[in-house]
């Protein structure tokens, strides 16, 4: 069984990982973190109670995050090629529950229909089917996604992105750390919050540039992005383990 070496790295975390056994492993690769400032008052209306927006110096942020996943498998189970590698695209913001920070996902598009249905049932997340591609050409990554799932509004993303400079670690208290150093995801339904913990080593971040073509991912969730240039960060690859969801604060 593959056990990521990063499991033993915890000094970078704001709190220790759970003492219980993790249930799922995966590797994320060629991530682009594209973030826009949005009006907190309007965004708060889209976050279900009892979750509350988590702000950075009074400002709310929404991320559109395309990437690939590989070696996805439950603990003790070997990765299966046709299920364990696929592309994913998240629209997310940052929230707190009982003072604890985490991520709230408006949508998670993925190119593997079976993985979508498993994740919807197990995690209660808004996973959706999509047709997606990621190609490397001339030092750029070209990413395309077209939502095909009738359970949500049409949404598309077409862009190319490129890492810049040497990798670095985000310093505690910076915007970069606020946006990426998250180890808990939240869902909420009928006033009850659930969470799932994750763990990985420190993010090997790089600056990035990107050329956006079509981007209606946030709009499909009812969010209008500011025309400002987004905050861009890139990460080549990171190993991740995840725990099963539980009642938040329980």
**Number of C-beta neighbours around residue 208 at 10 A:** 21
pLDDT-derived band at 82, boundaries 50, 70, 90: confident
pLDDT number for residue 250:
60
Pairwise CA distance, residues 168 & 175, whole Å: 14
CATH superfamily of 5-15+24-247: Acetoacetate decarboxylase-like (2.40.400.10)
Terminus-to-terminus CA distance in the chain, angstroms? Answer: 31
pLDDT number for residue 1:
42
Residues 70-96: what's their mean pLDDT?
92
Q: Residue 40: in which H helix or E strand, if any? A: helix 40-44
Pairwise CA distance, residues 27 & 84, whole Å: 10
Domains of the chain: which residue ranges? 5-15+24-247
pLDDT-derived band at 244, boundaries 50, 70, 90: very high
pLDDT number for residue 5:
59
Cα separation values, 156 from 109, 133, 144, 234, Å: 10, 12, 8, 20
Secondary structure class of 177 (helix, strand, coil): helix
Pairwise CA distance, residues 250 & 243, whole Å: 15
- Burial class of 73 by CB neighbour count within 10 A (0 to 12, 13 to 18, 19+): middle
* 3 or 66, greater pLDDT: 66
State if pTM tops 0.75: yes
What is the chain's mean pLDDT, rounded? 94
Pairwise CA distance, residues 20 & 27, whole Å: 21
Pairwise CA distance, residues 182 & 178, whole Å: 8
Write out pLDDT tens, residues 173-231: 999 999 999 999 999 999 999 999 999 999 999 999 999 999 999 999 999 998 888 99
pLDDT-derived band at 80, boundaries 50, 70, 90: confident
| CB 64 within 8 Å of CB 218 | yes
Q: Is residue 2 pLDDT above 50, yes or no?
A: no
pLDDT number for residue 129:
98
């Amino acid at each position: 069984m593959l056990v990521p070496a990063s499991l033993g790295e915890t000094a970078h975390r704001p709190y220790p990982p759970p003492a219980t056994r993790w249930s799922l492993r995966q590797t994320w690769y060629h991530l682009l973190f594209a973030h826009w400032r949005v009006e907190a008052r309007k965004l708060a209306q889209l976050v279900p109670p009892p979750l509350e927006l988590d702000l950075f110096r009074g400002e709310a942020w929404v991320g559109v995050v395309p990437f690939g996943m590989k070696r996805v498998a439950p603990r003790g189970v070997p990765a299966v090629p046709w299920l364990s590698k696929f592309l994913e695209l998240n629209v997310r913001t940052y929230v707190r529950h009982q003072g604890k920070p985490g991520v709230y996902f408006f949508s998670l598009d993925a190119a593997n229909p079976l993985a979508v249905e498993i994740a919807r049932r197990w995690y209660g997340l808004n996973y959706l089917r999509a047709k997606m591609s990621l190609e490397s050409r001339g030092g750029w990554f070209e990413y395309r996604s077209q939502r095909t799932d009738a359970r949500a509004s049409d949404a598309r993303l077409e862009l190319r992105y490129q890492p810049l400079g040497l990798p670095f670690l985000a310093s505690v208290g910076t915007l970069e750390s606020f946006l990426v150093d998250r180890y808990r995801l939240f869902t909420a339904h009928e006033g009850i919050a659930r969470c799932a913990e994750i763990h990985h080593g420190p993010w090997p971040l790089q600056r990035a540039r990107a050329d956006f073509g079509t981007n209606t991912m946030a709009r499909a969730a009812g969010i209008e992005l500011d025309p400002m240039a987004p905050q861009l960060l890139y990460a080549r690859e990171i190993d991740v383990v995840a725990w099963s969801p539980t009642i938040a604060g329980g």
